[in-house]
Amino acid sequence: MNVSQIMTPGPTEVRENVRMARALATTNPDLDLQFYEFYKETCDKIGQFLNTYNEVRILSGEGILGLEAACASLTETNDRVLVIDNGIFGEGFADFVKMYGGQVVFFKGDRKCKIDVIELEKFLEKDHDFKYATVVHCDTPSGVLNDIDKICPLLKKNGILTVVDSVAAMGGEDIRVDEWEIDIVLGASQKCVSAPTGLTFLSISEDAFKLMQHRETPIASYYCNLLVWKEYYENKWFPYTPPISDIVGLRQAIDNILEDSEVIERHESIGNATRKAVIESGLNLYIKDGYSNTVTVIEIPEGINDKELLKHMLEEFNIFIAGSFGYLKGKVIRIGHMGENAKKDKMAYTLLALQNSLKALGFQCKKDMAQIFLNEV
């Protein structure tokens, strides 16, 4: 398998010390009491990373597991759930809510803009009878970033629990779980954290646990049941055998982030410089505001085929970037500058490869993207 430079919006490059950590000899995680300490310490480090004192859990499964587990654990038949939707993943929460018997009510925003908090407040003045609400921090297919620091306190003010998908944002965007009153926030190993794919991690507030404990009906799942994790440490019992090597790697990746005092500033600098380079080159960003510092989404110029462009970048420059899907399929390309991808040299080379690939397919940029980026970052 030819290893290329991965500049997709997840999975991302994995640092060597994370790969080496996953190769260490391991114990039996179900029986060795020392691993319970290691797991708890790792959860505490994630809590530090998320700025929360809430309980943290690491689950064996890609990020989608966390989204479903949150909905499975909170939803009972006919519960009204507010789904805040301004993108593919925002809308996708509705599928999980319906799967577990909930009644979905949408608050829909412009898919090229971040959620309008004033409009949401007006909506809630008329109707706020919801058990919980879901919102996506960074909707990866479009690159739009929502102001969860304003949205979540507004929801809690109206007595609504908050569930946030921050899979593509945390680690590259500021997140303050306790200050912003987030009940459940979901992350994953393969995005800004830059560990291999396969783990979900999430923080769970006491309010969320209480809601799960006082359900009228049992949670209709085992693997997606967050409640079975509540007293794992006190009981020294895991609901299922943890993927120990993956967790050891995740621990190292979290340490990498905690040791980087300028991680958020670095993402912001690279995000701003990338957007400026794209605009000044004559290309168009897909969204109008709410720009994420972890992914840039660019409209494909007329006459350019997205598959041919991605193929040219891979074959000629050994660079992996991504198209999109759903309503954006064939219309945009996506560059991930998150985690280990958010490096000056990697991003400059990616923009060079993009510019030359566009030229080979018939589109001439107005200015040198790589040079603009390097001048700005």
Q: Read off the CATH number of the domain in which 365 is found.
A: 3.90.1150.10
Per-residue pLDDT tens over the stretch 316-328: 999 999 999 999 9
Per-residue pLDDT tens over the stretch 4-38: 799 999 999 999 999 999 999 999 999 999 999 99
| DSSP annotation of 286 | S
The order of strands in the sheet holding 184-188 is 55-60, 199-204, 184-188, 161-165, 132-136, 80-85, 103-108
Asked if 148 contacts 164 with a C-beta cutoff of 8 angstroms, the reply is: yes
* Whether residue 77 has pLDDT greater than 90: yes
* Whether residue 63 has pLDDT greater than 60: yes
* Same domain, yes or no: 75 and 187: yes
* pLDDT at site 4: 77
186 contact partners, CB below 8 Å, separation of at least 6: 63, 66, 67, 70, 163, 164, 165, 166, 167, 200, 201, 202
* Same domain, yes or no: 56 and 166: yes
Measured between alpha carbons, how far is 34 from 43 in angstroms, rounded to an integer? 14
Which domain-ending residue is among 208, 231, 258? 258
Which domain-ending residue is among 209, 234, 258? 258
* Same domain, yes or no: 123 and 231: yes
Reported as half-sphere exposure (CB side, CA atoms, 13 A), residue 116 has a value of 12
* Same domain, yes or no: 205 and 104: yes
pLDDT band at 3 (very low <50, low <70, confident <90, very high): low
- Section 349-363 average pLDDT: 98
Number of H helices, E strands in the chain: 13, 13
Count of beta carbons in the 10 Å neighbourhood of residue 235: 9
* Same domain, yes or no: 300 and 234: no
Question: Which of these, 61, 44, 46, 80, lies nearest to 224 by C-alpha position?
Answer: 61
3-class secondary structure, 355: helix
Per-residue pLDDT tens over the stretch 197-242: 999 999 999 999 999 999 999 999 999 999 999 999 999 999 999 9
Per-residue pLDDT tens over the stretch 87-141: 999 999 999 999 999 999 999 999 999 999 999 999 999 999 999 999 999 999 9
* Same domain, yes or no: 202 and 286: no
Element containing residue 248 per DSSP (H, E): helix 244-258
Per-residue pLDDT tens over the stretch 282-317: 999 999 999 999 999 999 999 999 999 999 999 999
Q: At residue 57, what are phi and psi to the nearest 5 degrees? A: -135, 150
* pLDDT at site 2: 64
The tally of domains found in the chain comes to 2
- Does 105 fall in a domain? yes
* Whether residue 1 has pLDDT greater than 60: no
- Section 182-210 average pLDDT: 98
* pLDDT at site 19: 97
* Same domain, yes or no: 120 and 20: yes
* Same domain, yes or no: 282 and 199: no
- Does 52 fall in a domain? yes
* Same domain, yes or no: 237 and 296: no
3-class secondary structure, 369: helix
| DSSP annotation of 179 | T
79 contact partners, CB below 8 Å, separation of at least 6: 101, 102, 103, 131
* Same domain, yes or no: 248 and 275: no
Domain containing residue 223? 16-258
Asked if 327 contacts 353 with a C-beta cutoff of 8 angstroms, the reply is: no
* Whether residue 279 has pLDDT greater than 80: yes
Measured between alpha carbons, how far is 131 from 327 in angstroms, rounded to an integer? 30
Summary mean pLDDT of the chain:
97
Per-residue pLDDT tens over the stretch 256-271: 999 999 999 999 999 9
Query: Considering the entire predicted model, what is its pTM?
Result: 0.96
pLDDT band at 365 (very low <50, low <70, confident <90, very high): very high
- Does 5 fall in a domain? no
| DSSP annotation of 102 | P
Count of beta carbons in the 10 Å neighbourhood of residue 44: 12
* Same domain, yes or no: 245 and 274: no
Alpha-carbon distances, residue 170 vs 11, 55, 58, 138, 219 (angstroms)? 14, 17, 15, 9, 28
